[in-house]
Amino acid sequence: MALIEIENLSVTYRSKGRSVTAVESVSLGVEARQSFGLVGESGSGKSTILRAICGLAPVTGGTIRIGGDLVPTPRGRAFSARVQMVFQDPYASLHPRHTLDRTLSEPLAIHGIGQTDARVMQALDDVGLPQSFRFRYPHQLSGGQRQRVAIARALMLRPEILLLDEPTSALDASVQAETLNLLNRLRTERGLTFLMVSHDLAVIDHMCDRILVMQNGRAVEELSRQDLASAKMKTDYARSLFSASADRMLEP
């Protein structure tokens, strides 16, 4: 049984009499400790799936199960302790007027977990930030450092599942490499399950075992990592994404 099971998920936004279907009956399953990637152009609904899992998007059809159980609405504390999300833009996802210490200790306070001091220090260590950063504000950090804080925050409650929404698209190439390495190391150390969204096929290929290609809110094709590397996609759309990938330029 898969850890994350999504069946026929549909998400429709309604406002002022108009409705937009962002996701239309998409099904996917992610095994425990697996890393699953969602790719597609903007507006294909890949981020909406992550938001729907967290209860941040209006689900209009289908089911979401974590570990076999339907997710409750509202999601509640037990869900937060199992599933956490890292957002795309570290400039926008951290509270500008909270120090790192406050950002990192808030989940502990909400969940009534003690040893705040030790846990915050440990969290900074885990993501490779100096402990002297503890009382800094987000604006005093670089983009890569901020994304490390966002990852540390997501890991404060020791979740099993991390939902990663374009975690490196706002970062420079060298900082992207450091962040991807950090995520991979944490996944091995803690046995995490990743569900990751990116528009960069090379990043998805580096991070994920299986890949779902999406277009206009629908699933187009599911590929294994081997299929992608050997260009064995069956649909034209997946092929066009593959050939438009900037990475192709490096092929001899």
Partner 1 sequence: MTLLSVRNLKVSFDTETGVVEAVRGVSFDLGRERLGIVGESGSGKTMTGRSVLRLIRPPGRIEADEMRFDGVDLMGASETQMRALRGRRIAMVMQDPKYSLNPVMKVGAQLMEGLRQRDGLTRAAAHIKAVEALEAVQIRDPERVMLAYPHELSGGMGQRVMIAMMLIPNPDLLIADEPTSALDVTVQAEVLAILDGLVRDRGMGLIFISHDLRLVARFCDRVLVMYRGKIVEELAARDLLHARHPYTQGLLNCLPRIGGPRQPLPGLDRSADWAV
Q: Does 38 bind partner 1 (CB under 8 A)?
A: no
Of 3 and 183, nearer to partner 1 (C-beta) is 183
User: From edge to edge, which strands make up the β-sheet containing 69-70?
Assistant: 18-30, 4-15, 59-66, 69-70
Rank residues 50 and 208 by Cβ distance to partner 1 and give the closer one: 208
- The answer to whether residue 245 forms part of the interface with partner 1 (CB under 8 A) is yes
Would you give the end-to-end CA distance of the chain in angstroms? Answer: 41
d(CA 157, CA 108): 7
According to DSSP, the residues that pair with 4 across neighbouring strands are: 30, 66
Pick one of 108, 177, 187, 239: the residue that binds partner 1 (CB under 8 A). Answer: 177
State the nearest-atom distance from the C-beta of 179 to partner 1, in Å.
10
Nearer to partner 1 (CB atom), residue 132 or residue 243: 243
By the rule CB under 8 A, 247 interacts with partner 1: yes
3-state secondary structure 176-212: HHHHHHHHHHHHHHHCCEEEEECCCHHHHHHHCCEEE
Are the beta carbons of 196 and 208 closer than 8 angstroms? yes
> CA separation (Å) from 3 to 6, 79, 94, 163, 193?
10, 13, 28, 13, 9
Question: Of residues 14, 185, 232, 234, which one binds partner 1 by CB under 8 A?
Answer: 185
Least Å from the CB of residue 102 to partner 1: 27
Q: Which is nearer to partner 1, 121 or 177 (CB)?
A: 177
Contact 85, 162 (CB under 8 A): yes
* 75 touches partner 1 by CB under 8 A: no
Q: How far is the CB of 240 from partner 1 (least distance, A)?
A: 7
Residues 186-205 contacting partner 1, CB under 8 A: 199-203, 205
Nearer Cβ to partner 1 (84/215): 215
